[in-house]
Amino acid sequence: MTGSTACPLCGRSSPVVAHGIVAPFIAELVGREPAPSSLRRCEPCDLVFFDHRYDDDEMSAIYSGYRNDDYRRIRTRWEPWYRRSVNEAFLGESAAVADRRHFVEAILRDAGLADEDFGMIVDVGGDEGQFFPAVRSDERVVIDVSNKALPPDVTRVASLQGLGRDAGLLIIAHVLEHLPDPLGMVREAIDVLAPGGFLYVEVPLDRPRIRPSHSTPRHARWTRWVSRSRAAFTAADFATGVSRQQGWRVPRLGLVKESEHINYFSTASLERLLRSAGLHVLAQRSEPNATGGGLRLGRLGMVAERLEGDCRREGEE
């Protein structure tokens, strides 16, 4: 793991808003001891992020077998409440998958793109190819590290650079919150957009509601202390999860835990990211109370197009 106080969007050094720790199940997956990690907020961008950033090897260890039996076994050991229904909520043709597709389709309609022929659609982080919206295309491609089996009408490439043609619609849904460099991912994506192509991004709205006391040295010491006992850690973690699911603040003696999501977006920060990459938002929707597998995560989706002319990235001459 690498540490950085810099905002992933603008590079400004950002202050600590809460002291926390890397989730033990993540630490076990990557073969390390749980390490302290601080939650920071960039006020100009309104992005909240953990300052521990996973490196390439750790990202591979976490996601190459994402939500398989080993993943579920390790996670359940540390989070006994982690249910199979949550782990498998977005597999196959579940209700959650259909709902997610409908959400994308609604935003595309809002942007006037319901009848667009996109040619090639690429879904970055597309898992088993189950999330493609019901729109016109002649080719559908998934880029995903899990290497799961795909339907016969969906192909896989290893990276954006491996595409044989430019994409008419590129989807990055529930990916940016996981990435050490979300802006870099979006910039790579627009480089493979066809002229007149579109980018769809979607992120959860699951930013933890914290208290001023969570940024104090006293809370950092308490987090280290409670982490020494599996029973105490599990109790504090469970109480924190219940509080967050109810929409309440993290309890005073709760845990600020870095799990898979290391970036927490808002409408302002997601717009800032897209604008920084030279994109113009055409339509957006948010559903703060949206659920998946019985958990309230919320969601925010935007569809954007590349700005016309010589659009320079923010901070570049």
Q: What is the pLDDT of residue 221?
A: 97
One domain, residues 156 and 26: no
Q: What is the pLDDT of residue 300?
A: 98
In-domain check, residue 149: yes
One domain, residues 12 and 148: no
Task: Give the total number of structural domains in the chain.
Answer: 2
One domain, residues 256 and 114: no
Strand order in the sheet with 16-22: 257-258, 16-22, 36-42, 47-50, 263-264
In-domain check, residue 291: yes
Kindly report the CATH number assigned to the domain that includes residue 164.
3.40.50.150
d(CA 109, CA 41): 33
One domain, residues 272 and 302: yes
One domain, residues 78 and 151: no
In-domain check, residue 125: yes
One domain, residues 271 and 193: yes
Q: HSE, CB side, 13 Å, CA atoms: give it for residue 215.
A: 12
**Burial group, residue 56, by CB count within 10 angstroms (0-12, 13-18, 19+):** exposed
In-domain check, residue 314: no
Q: What is the pLDDT of residue 312?
A: 38
One domain, residues 108 and 157: yes
Q: What is the pLDDT of residue 206?
A: 95
One domain, residues 7 and 147: no
Residues of the chain with pLDDT under 50: 310-317
In-domain check, residue 23: yes
Q: What is the pLDDT of residue 93?
A: 81
In-domain check, residue 312: no
One domain, residues 276 and 140: yes
Q: Tell me the Ramachandran region of residue 167: left when phi exceeds 0, alpha when psi lies from -120 to 50, beta otherwise.
A: beta
In-domain check, residue 150: yes
One domain, residues 167 and 253: no
202 close to 173: Cβ distance less than 8 angstroms = yes
One domain, residues 7 and 18: yes
CA dihedral angle for residue 272, residue 39, residue 63, residue 169, rounded to 10 degrees = -10
278 close to 313: Cβ distance less than 8 angstroms = yes
One domain, residues 74 and 111: no
In-domain check, residue 315: no
- Containing domain of residue 234, as a range? 2-89+209-261
